[in-house]
Copies of this chain bind each other. A is one copy, B any other.
């Protein structure tokens, strides 16, 4: 949890923090970011909150701040669900807006509470249609997202619950500060589209291997590389594509102090 208040970048009330809290916004040239800032609004993202409903037109897009994760999942007629992708500080929720469809058949749910920078659809489109850096960034992000979806499909087909849990933990971990996740096995089961017992069993194995510690909705990752070794290749494929396609936190770290001064 990011609860420090000394650091100005952590102030929860200033939209200008967007420059450091979301990697897409942070990677924008200063003028583009300035054009968006007046319309950016910080909103809290509560665990379980439904950001988009299937087939419903979106009035806003969301840039999750560090530590906030949004899950895109499809809910079937019988109520069963399956996660399609997750989005954290590296991306944006609401790509259907600029892709042209306006809606998707999937639902977006907050999977890890935090904050997000909310932008009205019209403001996003205005900037997108300048065909500048924002468009390039968003398209690259979309391609990364496509890779994640593809790999989810592959993983669902071929890999065991054990492997998928490891992959999922790692994907979540990459989007969080620290090594602790706040989520029940029930929730994870819903995301993976498997039974809760299956997650219990898989988590138990990881625990006996001393890779994680689990207790009532709180997971602590003890051995990250051990977890990577147990995950299927899917995690690596997605990770490498994200690294290749998206701006790195390091690049932002270089920039942020210069702007803050």
Say whether A149 contacts B142, CB under 8 Å: no
Q: Is residue A216 within 8 Å, beta carbon to beta carbon, of the partner chain? A: no
B-side contacts of A74, CB under 8 Å: 150-151, 154
Chain B's nearest CB lies how many Å from the CB of A232? Answer: 8
CA distance A176 to B145 in the complex (A): 29
Q: Mark A79-117, 1 if CB is under 8 A from B, else 0.
A: 010101000000000011011110011100000000000
Given contacts A99-B140, A245-B100, whether A154 and B237 have CB atoms under 8 Å apart is no
Given contacts A77-B233, A100-B140, A142-B99, whether A149 and B154 have CB atoms under 8 Å apart is no
Q: How many copies does the complex hold?
A: 2
How many residues of A are counted as interface, with CB atoms below 8 angstroms from the partner's CB atoms?
A: 42
B-side contacts of A140, CB under 8 Å: 99-101
Q: Which residues of chain A (54-78) have a CB below 8 Å from chain B?
A: 72, 74, 76-77
Closest residue on chain B to residue A238 by CB atoms: B105
Given contacts A99-B140, A245-B101, whether A157 and B77 have CB atoms under 8 Å apart is no
Say whether B245 contacts A158, CB under 8 Å: no
8 interchain pairs (CB within 8 A)?
Answer: A72-B150, A74-B154, A76-B233, A77-B233, A82-B158, A96-B143, A101-B140, A158-B193
Known: A142-B142, A142-B146. 12 other contacts (CB 8 A): A74-B154, A76-B233, A80-B158, A82-B154, A82-B158, A98-B139, A101-B244, A104-B146, A106-B150, A129-B131, A149-B153, A158-B193
